[in-house]
Each structure stands twice: as C-alpha cells, then as structure tokens.
C-alpha cells in the first residue's frame, strides 16, 4: 500500500511525544482502531498511523547534528506521521498534525518539495519562523510549518 509520511524531530522523550501525537489525532477528528492501537481512521475512513523511534534510525548523523546545532537542543525522538493511501485530500490533515506536534514538542518538521525550493520561498518560510535547508528539503519549526500549510504552493511529498 502506498502513502505519505511526515517526520517530526523533537527534543522531548518519546513517551511525551507519543501522548501529544494521540491528542492531535483525536483533535483532528480521528478514531483509534481498537484491534491495532497504532492505526487511526479519519471521519472519511482514511487510514492514518504513527511511529515514534530514535532520531538516528533513519536520519543521517551529520544531518541530525546540523538540526541540533541550529535548534540548540538535543533531538531525542522522531515521530513519523503516516497516511497509508495516496489520497491528496488527506495530506493537509497530516501536515496540520505535524505542525501541532512540532509546536507542542519544540519540534522540527521535515518537508520535502516536489522541486527544489526557490530562494523566495525559503526566505518567506524563514521570515515566519525557523527554516533549516538540507539539500532540496527543509526542517521547519512550528511557525514556519504554519506558514507552509497556508501557502498557495503547499504540497506534501513522500
């Protein structure tokens, strides 16, 4: 099954971040699937889920250090928010949850673009919050993620 994921890096313990993720899924109107606690469904029946893992499991150590230096904090966990189908309509909810989790956990959302971001877009995002460029992707703090979610060119890749 295809799908889309957004990653949020946080300096907080995995247990705290997991509680925040579940609260945000509930706030987004999702219901937990009883026989699999990591599976959630939107009111439209779209399947979502999340995984909380060590930050160095999938992230290159140099990239992780770059984010830690820029943020001034040690990153303690990564949460992967998923929608398990290729449904464009479900991606804004995924992005809103990533934004809210980042806001509540002092996190950074990893955003990939469908094409290299323009200097103007990067300045726009950095003007709203903090934006760390890594090749053709960025890590955005919650304020910059809010701005990206509202941008006319908003999209989620992956």
Q: What is the pLDDT of residues 117-147, one digit of tens each?
A: 899 999 999 999 999 998 889 999 999 999 9
Question: Residue range 91-96: average pLDDT?
Answer: 92
DSSP secondary-structure letter at 118?
P
Q: Which two structure tokens, joined as six digits, stand for 153?
A: 């060119």
Q: Could you tell me the pTM of the whole model?
A: 0.93
How remote is the C-alpha of 16 from its chain's centroid?
A: 16
CB 79 within 8 A of CB 104: no
Place of tokens 């290159």: 60
At 158, is the pLDDT very low, low, confident or very high (cuts 50, 70, 90)?
A: low
* pLDDT at 1 > cutoff 50: no
The whole-number pLDDT of residue 42 equals 92
- The yes-or-no verdict on residue 84 having pLDDT over 70 is yes
Dist. CA 116–CA 113, nearest whole Å: 6
Least confident of 19-23, 73-77, 153-157: 153-157
Question: What per-residue confidence (pLDDT) applies to 87?
Answer: 72
Domains of the chain: 4-150 (3.30.70.2920)
- Mean pLDDT (the chain) is 91
Phi, psi (deg, nearest 5) at residue 121: -65, -45
pLDDT at 38: 76
In the chain, which residue ranges form alpha helices assigned H by DSSP? 14-27, 61-71, 91-105, 119-128, 142-150
Question: What is the predicted pLDDT for the residue at 14?
Answer: 96
Residue 2, pLDDT score = 65
């Amino acid at each position: 099954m295809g799908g889309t994921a957004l990653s949020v890096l946080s300096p907080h313990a995995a247990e705290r971040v997991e509680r925040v993720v579940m609260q945000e899924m509930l706030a987004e109107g999702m219901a937990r699937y009883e026989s699999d606690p990591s599976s959630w469904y939107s009111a439209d029946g779209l399947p979502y889920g999340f995984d909380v893992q060590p930050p160095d499991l999938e992230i290159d150590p140099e990239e992780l250090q770059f984010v830690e230096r820029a943020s001034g904090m040690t990153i303690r966990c990564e949460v992967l928010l998923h929608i398990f189908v290729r449904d464009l309509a479900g991606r804004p909810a995924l992005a809103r949850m990533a934004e809210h989790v980042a806001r509540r956990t002092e996190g950074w959302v990893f955003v990939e673009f469908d094409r290299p971001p323009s200097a103007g877009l990067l300045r726009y995002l950095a003007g709203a919050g903090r934006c760390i460029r890594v090749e053709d992707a960025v890590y955005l703090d919650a304020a910059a993620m809010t701005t990206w979610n509202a941008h006319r060119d908003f999209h989620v890749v992956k």
